[in-house]
Structure 1
């Protein structure tokens, strides 16, 4: 067997990054080499898993710690916008995100050609929402990974990406698409100018990426997929059924109170943990209940005091090792959290704040795998009612069990690795 080199280029966020880590782990278990192209601030993430990593500047070069603070500050500056509906986030948070994303594609074009020439990958996998022309033009098969919500691949019959709308709200779909295109047009025009400068054809309004002609891998599991008007061609689009990575083991610590109570895990992700007021409110509520909870507070641990005896906070948890041991999860709707809960059969209450968290919150409720909750406009009584339903709804429990069994039987990591290796070998 000839060893192949597989390059992974995930977006600079923990969800896409760790999803690609899971696939890369499977590639290496099958005897091949995986390397990462990375935002400079994420190099250490991949190196901590033992992978060779190559920095690609996605913005004006700055020290990694300054880059990390940039995104923390970016998110924290938008906390007031988290109270808005998805359509009302378009002309603030979403617009500013797309401006930064377009800039990242321009910056990457300066570094990618030389890096690709140096590592000589046989296949390049990109988990992002925007085209990097140098990757498309390098001359080997490239793969698009969709670790965000499945509706990132659009279809007129399903809710638009980022909308958080019900699949039945067709009038709302039209209004959201129209408003998105209105807000995004100047940014999109700028991106098309950049595409043409690289020899690429411009994209239609609203589109910043395309499906790969070779292979597209969707993280979404089959039990929660949308019913499309145009079904995706299985020769080019494959579902990975969650593709959960391996992480270090975790032993549940002893709680000073309610040590035999139902166990909750609360996490709003690395960036969402900046919303300390909301996390403190949840901690206070849980402190008055029969539950116990592990709460991920990110880099803000020093801002917490008087933690109830039935709550343990920390800056980070090995989530794939924690979720199998808990009874219910409260999270922000990030796609790894969303799929990991389904993979391990755990009910979730999703309190989304941005991006595809809105879509996943609606999807978990519409498919009967948990609940969508407003992020701020909720009462203690309503939250307790949702938690109790997560613990005691036998229909939901049975549905989660079936979904978990389906996902675990598919082994998404191995499936992705086999597909990538087959693609490399078919293009020798």
Structure 2
């Protein structure tokens, strides 16, 4: 076993801007990295829209709110809006078919048809004057971005910037040695079967590029150089540094070399500073185990899906902690389940024996950090790739959440709870992640950009 290396303190305090997509998963990845940087003495300021007011302040970060009026900067102690942007987005996903039955190819077609870029690009343009004002007023030393359409004011400011990729590395590597991102195809699959996926993604990527060109043109900037390659899913890469989070146990570096100016860390994994206590009704008896269930902030909006899964959980001799999502009041859980609309996931994972997850990258990587075997039920996007990686590497089970037979899920639960070899592999992965301190090392790289 290798010795823990010494991580030197920061040479000086930096002022760092964070800006991410308006989605919980993207925000959580940023929070995880921001916490580590804040712990090293840096000042963290999030630029976010009014709908998410307070989401960052509760972690001790400053917030600059992007509004339709004047730019405001304030420390916010609690959320002060009745709007639920996650519920609204989830309902949009349901109405378009992004949530619901369908394989990965069908979901890619839905993504291409129901393009969300027009609305996002309009917001980028609308918020740009406030972004420019924030940069001029605050003069940050560094900017960290997690977005697929970006205000060129960030990238053309002359301030070093980092691109944070909160999704799987399939979306970043862009190699013909890998199956298309969001396909859920194995790296061992026949490339002759990749063509239709590649065509859909190429069409989608070209349209994203056109939206970014329109943003740049509207704001008086030249098109970004990255648009020369029209097959790249993430059209933005930073000439300074690009970071993604994915455990080495399932990463792609055994197949490919890291892209230029890119580093891998095991997980962004935010720290929920709460003492989570197991509810009394979930007290375990002999031979009972405890599992965590989450279909993510989007998947939990599909109440029929949550009912379908919980109906099978009822048939097992185990107990379950369920993240019920924004529609928690619209359905009841069986007696062997307990849940709330929102749970401190990283704190909960410490108490369970295994997890059933949708395969979003945060949940996926956080289970590795906690050392908990997983059942992946992908719904859309890169969740399919994460599901396939656990199959290819032998780190769990993946199944279609809308098509599984009850006995299939029951058998999978039995496997992840009782397979000793799987349990040991996850425990060793968690030990290795803790020992390697990859997030702290990433902070050193970030600091080097400025120092």
Structure 1 vs Structure 2 CA RMSD: 2.4
Q: Secondary structure at the match of 2:52?
A: helix
Greater shift after overlay, 71-80 or 372-381? 71-80
> 1:103–1:333: structure 2 CA closer, same or farther, 3 Å change rule?
farther
Q: 1:77 matched to which residue of 2?
A: 95
1:376 — aligned with what?
Answer: 402
Question: For residue 179 of structure 2, what is the aligned residue in structure 1?
Answer: 159
2:46 to 36, 39, 42: 36
Match for residue 35 of structure 2?
25
Q: Which residue of 2 aligns with 1:413?
A: 439
Question: Which residue is 1:171 aligned to?
Answer: 192
CA contact (8 A) 2:205 2:231 kept: yes
Identify if the C-alpha distance between structure 1 residues 164 and 327 changes in structure 2 by more than 3 Å, giving closer, same or farther.
Answer: same
- Aligned counterpart for 1:398 among listed residues 396, 413, 424: 424
Equivalent residue for 1:7?
A: 17
The whole-number CA distance in structure 2 between the counterparts of 1:66 and 1:328 is 30
Give deviations 1:152-197, integer Å, cap 9, x for gaps: 2122211222221111222233331112223554454343333344
Give the match for residue 236 of structure 1: 261
1:301-325 Cα distance to aligned partner (Å, 9 max, x none): 21123x3221102111111111121
Tell me if 1:112 matches 2:102: no
Go from structure 1 to structure 2 and tell me whether the alpha carbon gap of 1:190 and 1:64 turns closer, same or farther (over 3 Å shift).
Answer: farther
Q: Does structure 1 residue 315 correspond to structure 2 residue 341?
A: yes
Paired residue secondary structure (1:96): coil
Please list every run of 5 or more consecutive structure 2 residues that lacks an aligned counterpart in the other structure: 1-10, 72-80
Q: 1:347 to 1:47 in 2, by over 3 A?
A: same
- Within a 5 Å distance, the mapping from 1:59-70 to structure 2 comes to 65=83, 67-70=85-88
Hey, what's the Cα distance between the residues in 2 that align with 1:200 and 1:41?
A: 30
Q: Cα offset for 1:258?
A: 5.2
| Alignment correspondent of 1:46 | 56
The reply on whether 1:356 has 2:371 as its aligned counterpart is no
For 2:193 and 2:36, how far apart are their aligned partners in 1?
41
- For the pair 1:123 / 2:152, whether they are aligned, the reply is no
Match of 1:422 in 2: 448
**Partner deviation per Cα, 1:231-275 (whole Å, 9 max, x = no partner):** 115x72111111322112211112267555111111111221111
Larger mean CA deviation between 98-107 and 147-156 belongs to 98-107
Q: SS of the residue aligned with 1:298?
A: coil
Q: What is the CA–CA distance in structure 1 between the aligned matches of 2:156 and 2:98, rounded to whole Å? A: 41
Q: 1:104 to 1:230 in 2, by over 3 A?
A: farther
Q: C-alpha distance in 2, partners of 1:225/1:68?
A: 29
Cα 1:106–1:362, aligned 2, differ >3 Å: closer, same or farther? farther
Question: Alignment partner for residue 277 of structure 1, among 280, 283, 304?
Answer: 304
**Which residue in 2 is equivalent to 1:150?**
169
Are the aligned partners of 1:40 and 1:64 in contact in 2 as well (CA < 8 Å)?
no
Q: Tell me: CA distance 1:78–1:118, structure 2 relative to 1, closer, same or farther (3 Å).
A: same
Mapped partners of 2:255, 2:108: distance in 1: 26
Deviations 1:106-153 (A, max 9, x none): 334343211211221101011123333111111111001111101121
Aligned to 2:106, the other structure's residue is in SS state: helix
Distance 2:255 2:425 in 1: 25
Q: Is it true that 1:294 corresponds to 2:312 in the alignment?
A: no
The structure 1 residue matched to 2:107, chosen from 72, 84, 89, is 89
SS in 2 for 1:405: helix
Q: Which runs of 4+ in 1 moved over 6 A?
A: none
Report the equivalent of 1:332.
358
CA contact (8 A) 1:82 1:354 kept: no
Separation in 2, partners of 1:259, 1:275: 32
TM-score (norm 2): 0.86
The alpha carbon displacement at 1:69 in A equals 4.8
How far 1:345 moved relative to its partner?
1.3
Task: Describe the shift of the 1:54–1:241 C-alpha distance in structure 2 as closer, same or farther (beyond 3 A).
Answer: same
**Count of residue pairs brought into register by the alignment:** 420
Structure 1 pair 288–224 and aligned structure 2 pair: CA distance change class (3 A): same
Tell me which of 182, 192, 198 is aligned to 2:203. Answer: 182
Residue by residue over 1:47-98, the C-alpha shift from the partner in whole angstroms, topping out at 9 and shown as x without a partner, is 111211112369xx9x771645532331232357531122222232354234
